[in-house]
Chain A
């Protein structure tokens, strides 16, 4: 319910006279049981019609560990899960979202992947679908024509090749499909559709507020970050557009919070102007303005206070790594002093809790880097002692450490991921050094990250594993209490597929990668160069300080990045 892309596309599709779009979410296992017992199909929320009544079923793929849910939802609707088993034009299954940076593990199940931003391309696809339906095309003819639409990837028209050792060597298209599928983008965000009145749920959901998307893309180029690389080029919305959209949405929804969202909102150049335009309007109505995350080097108490005029929330920073050396490797250009300064300012102005986000298992990481995480946590508590205006209230520093998963489309797409054992060992070590007064240490079992790491850089041989695991009962794999690693293990064994081959193996630059026919606009050369710089411990400048020529601006066809 809280996914912005879904809100945009839902509104957009319903604004077209020939299109009727409804929502459907994966039912929790208890609901699934009831549906199956009552022989009811999985149904759409607005009409209650079964999914099988719809022409097109579109999935947003936000997380690798939701793949079995895709299969399960189709099955619950009585729709064959394999694309090849769905005949005719009915029940066309399409998918988009950030996991399409490597759609291969779902190639057997999805008819058309939409690569990039869906606003324009999905309408072209629907248009084609209408023609095909009217003229009674067969599915193959439709798919071949769909593959000609920019940004549409029809996996059935591509054949992967492997050498005698089972290594992927390349993929060849047929029926005139393009060798490379280039991501689609919306060039001018000010002119793009934005929903006036998204659905407001009557029960509590996460991120339940007005989401005002201030820009797309990110200037930072953190080397681990998939969104930072695949959502380029950088495009901003004007403050005028944003103020209008924010007020309209707040009026129409009644939300009491407007969140300025993007990958790095403090990098939005006209943030002051935007806040000036919204703050008084909001304050009068008890609506708060929120920034989802701050950069320590850009932190301004004045800004934070203005934003928090109505309600004060905690501060979050994401240093991601414990030492300057490792932060240079991952290109997270935050210095410890910046962090301490930001915290000091905040503490002096009444804040008393800070959340810090980190990763472990980053390339080149040593124990010293982990020690750095504890050192910073201690440092922040020290800063609080020196700067707090009210020491009686106490301070809470939370350090959350996630496991690093190398993602396709990033400079780290060639890197081996730490094994589960390595990650567990590091966690044990962290638990020991993070016993610090006023500091909470959050961590997560690495097994889910491991599975995520397998699928993130998987190829089509994983389709069989996903199918097998789903048949054995796997779903909601991203939920600790639902993940059945034993069943996954059985499925991998039954299919003769080795998890470590995908997750823990270093790739060489010469190797063909199974997702490289999907082109997100950033060249392989740029990613390679960034990888080499990482291993030399060299940070790179952000797009504003100096364009590195990553390639993304070519998607603007003559335009330039809005840095």
Chain B
């Protein structure tokens, strides 16, 4: 048995597959590709698959990570080809490694947020250079007023097509910020409503902003 880590993309209509369903999708894809998975012990054995940083349903990503246990001495030939053939459209595995970097070292996730709303990129840059942006954030203990700026890194906004493209790193892992709060903050402080927004996760990072793998 060896522990392996997949890097995969989740694009297009696959963005609507929820986190729980995605585990099932992978489990079946492994079975169809005839790659034996390790199983947990106990009364209800289940396949040892972990998706490192659950992605909100509806978001796209090019940097998803999945750990699995292989119940074979080595990966079959053409592993990526076989697995990708067995996965639904929109989900594509781009790499497999033996990395054992623990998931708890994930600190940031970089997003590209495309949004259509009645503000200029300059106004947004100004907004995000303030001292504090306080919004109502849902937490496990209920709602709380939170200044989101300490949870953000490197905010950039530029025009794109009919809208604005925002690039930003948000806290991820233990203390995390859903990038939807970035849009919520803009809506609150600029008094606008986004008519369309889409999210793409680009990369995950450690504390010192090294790419996490």
**Chain A interface (Cβ within 8 Å of chain B)?**
200, 202-204, 250-256, 285-286, 310-312
- B161 contacts across to A, CB distance below 8 A: none
Task: Report the minimal beta-carbon distance from A25 to chain B, rounded to whole angstroms.
Answer: 15
Cα of A203 to Cα of B86 in the assembled complex, Å: 16
- A202 contacts across to B, CB distance below 8 A: 14, 17, 21, 25, 88
A254 touches B44 (CB 8 A): no
22 inter-chain pairs at a CB distance below 8 angstroms, sorted by A residue, are A202-B14, A202-B21, A202-B25, A203-B16, A203-B18, A204-B20, A204-B21, A251-B31, A251-B32, A252-B32, A253-B28, A253-B32, A254-B28, A254-B29, A254-B30, A254-B32, A255-B28, A256-B28, A285-B36, A286-B39, A286-B47, A311-B44
- A310 contacts across to B, CB distance below 8 A: 45
**Interface status of B197 (Cβ within 8 A of chain A):** no
Query: CB within 8 Å of A: which of B66-124?
Result: 86, 88
A254 touches B27 (CB 8 A): yes
- A286 contacts across to B, CB distance below 8 A: 39, 45, 47
Given contacts A253-B32, A254-B32, A286-B47, is CB(A203)–CB(B27) below 8 Å?
no
Closest 4 CB pairs of A and B: A254-B28, A254-B31, A254-B32, A203-B21
A285 touches B14 (CB 8 A): no
Cα of A481 to Cα of B164 in the assembled complex, Å: 41
Cα of A44 to Cα of B127 in the assembled complex, Å: 45
Cα of A292 to Cα of B92 in the assembled complex, Å: 36
Task: Report the minimal beta-carbon distance from A109 to chain B, rounded to whole angstroms.
Answer: 32
**B40-51 to A contact mask, C-beta < 8 Å, 1/0:** 000111010000
- B25 contacts across to A, CB distance below 8 A: 202
- B146 contacts across to A, CB distance below 8 A: none
**Interface status of B2 (Cβ within 8 A of chain A):** no
Given contacts A286-B45, A286-B47, A311-B44, is CB(A203)–CB(B17) below 8 Å?
yes
Task: Report the minimal beta-carbon distance from B69 to chain A, rounded to whole angstroms.
Answer: 13
8 extra A-B contacts, CB within 8 A, seeds A202-B21, A311-B44? A200-B28, A204-B20, A204-B21, A251-B31, A254-B27, A254-B29, A256-B28, A286-B47
- B20 contacts across to A, CB distance below 8 A: 204
**Interface status of B24 (Cβ within 8 A of chain A):** yes
**In terms of DSSP, what is the predominant structure of the interface of chain A?**
loop
Cα of A203 to Cα of B58 in the assembled complex, Å: 13
- A203 contacts across to B, CB distance below 8 A: 16-18, 21
Q: Which residue of A lies closest to B17 (CB)?
A: A202
Cα of A256 to Cα of B47 in the assembled complex, Å: 11
- B88 contacts across to A, CB distance below 8 A: 202
B31 touches A256 (CB 8 A): yes
Cα of A203 to Cα of B16 in the assembled complex, Å: 9
Cα of A276 to Cα of B145 in the assembled complex, Å: 62
Q: Which residue of B lies closest to A201 (CB)?
A: B21
Among A202, A310, A311, A312, the most chain B Cβ lie within 10 Å of the Cβ of: A202
Task: Report the minimal beta-carbon distance from A381 to chain B, rounded to whole angstroms.
Answer: 24
Instruction: Pick the residue among A204, A285, A312 that contacts B24 (CB under 8 A).
Output: A204
- A252 contacts across to B, CB distance below 8 A: 32
- B45 contacts across to A, CB distance below 8 A: 286, 310
Cα of A253 to Cα of B16 in the assembled complex, Å: 20
Cα of A285 to Cα of B28 in the assembled complex, Å: 11
Instruction: Pick the residue among A204, A285, A311 that contacts B31 (CB under 8 A).
Output: A285
Q: Which residue of B lies closest to A204 (CB)?
A: B21
- A311 contacts across to B, CB distance below 8 A: 44
Cα of A503 to Cα of B86 in the assembled complex, Å: 50
Q: Which residue of A lies closest to B31 (CB)?
A: A254
A254 touches B86 (CB 8 A): yes
Task: Report the minimal beta-carbon distance from B8 to chain A, rounded to whole angstroms.
Answer: 14
Cα of A203 to Cα of B88 in the assembled complex, Å: 11
Cα of A66 to Cα of B168 in the assembled complex, Å: 48
- B32 contacts across to A, CB distance below 8 A: 251-254
Task: Report the minimal beta-carbon distance from A254 to chain B, rounded to whole angstroms.
Answer: 3
Cα of A311 to Cα of B47 in the assembled complex, Å: 13
Q: Which residue of A lies closest to B46 (CB)?
A: A286
Cα of A252 to Cα of B34 in the assembled complex, Å: 10
- B21 contacts across to A, CB distance below 8 A: 202-204
Task: Report the minimal beta-carbon distance from B151 to chain A, rounded to whole angstroms.
Answer: 31
Task: Report the minimal beta-carbon distance from A30 to chain B, rounded to whole angstroms.
Answer: 15
Task: Report the minimal beta-carbon distance from A196 to chain B, rounded to whole angstroms.
Answer: 12
Cα of A250 to Cα of B30 in the assembled complex, Å: 12
- A256 contacts across to B, CB distance below 8 A: 27-28, 31
Cα of A312 to Cα of B21 in the assembled complex, Å: 22
Task: Report the minimal beta-carbon distance from B196 to chain A, rounded to whole angstroms.
Answer: 14
Task: Report the minimal beta-carbon distance from A247 to chain B, rounded to whole angstroms.
Answer: 12
Task: Report the minimal beta-carbon distance from B96 to chain A, rounded to whole angstroms.
Answer: 19
Task: Report the minimal beta-carbon distance from A47 to chain B, rounded to whole angstroms.
Answer: 13
- B86 contacts across to A, CB distance below 8 A: 254
- B29 contacts across to A, CB distance below 8 A: 254
Task: Report the minimal beta-carbon distance from B26 to chain A, rounded to whole angstroms.
Answer: 10
Q: Which residue of A lies closest to B25 (CB)?
A: A202
Task: Report the minimal beta-carbon distance from B40 to chain A, rounded to whole angstroms.
Answer: 10
Cα of A62 to Cα of B6 in the assembled complex, Å: 42
- B16 contacts across to A, CB distance below 8 A: 203
Task: Report the minimal beta-carbon distance from B144 to chain A, rounded to whole angstroms.
Answer: 31
Task: Report the minimal beta-carbon distance from B112 to chain A, rounded to whole angstroms.
Answer: 24
- B31 contacts across to A, CB distance below 8 A: 250-251, 254-256, 285
Cα of A286 to Cα of B30 in the assembled complex, Å: 13
